[in-house]
Amino acid sequence: MNTLYSFRRCPYAMRARMALRYSGVAVDIVEVSLKAKPAEMLALSSKGTVPVLNVGGLVIDESLDIMRWALAQNDSQDWLLKDDPVGQRCIAELIEENDQVFKLQLNRYKYPERYPEQSTEIYRAEGEVFLRRLDELLQVRDYLLASHPSLADVALMPFVRQFAHVDREWFAQTPYMRLQAWLQWFLESDLFTSVMAKQTRTL
């Protein structure tokens, strides 16, 4: 059995679980306590961060690599936009901006006490730049890059969710109505609700 070491609320683990679920890859999901990481996970990946996927001895310990591995097994709805080279480049660019820039802004906004150099409002405004870009992409379609979800949508959604949930009232009154609807669609989707169900096996 394939084993995924995960933490339910981690956005990196969320996107890995969604890709695995979508692709139909059967996995035994182990919910990890981040305060007491299991020795079996650390033996596979010394990084000590989730998610970690063990597929018959093949260890994949980066969420995006897990997503791409899963889609290589089955991508029935074309999340990879395989016949759209421009779309593929856009996927890569959006994920890079999310992971390298927006995630840092999200951390500062969510935990301002750790970053006293600036106010919460300034950190939120910095993150808003990315939200605005995503909302603009949604002007002409329901998803970021195509008429259906792509790898970019699923890779970014857990981070947008986390940003929105820092202050839900603020997010609800922003002008980013298309982004709000996009996020709500994912939150109510079978794909997301299924991977957020609590796991019975915990280490």
**pLDDT for position 142:** 97
Which residue range forms the structural domain that includes residue 17?
Answer: 2-76+191-195
Find the mean pLDDT for residues 115-121.
96
Tell me how many domains the chain contains: 2
- 59-64: average pLDDT: 98
Helix axes of 120-137 and 177-188: crossing angle, nearest 10 degrees: 80
If you average pLDDT over residues 134-158, what whole number do you get?
98
- Shared domain for 105 and 123, answered yes or no, is yes
Encode pLDDT of 72-81 as tens digits. 999 999 999 9
Average pLDDT of the residues in 143-157: 98
Residue 99 to residue 114: CA distance in whole angstroms: 19
Residue 102 within any structural domain of the chain: yes
Same domain, residue pair 90 and 185: yes
The C-alpha angle 174, 158, 142, rounded to 5 degrees, equals 60
| Domain-embedded: residue 65 | yes
Q: What is the pLDDT of residue 35?
A: 86
20 and 109 housed in the same domain:
no
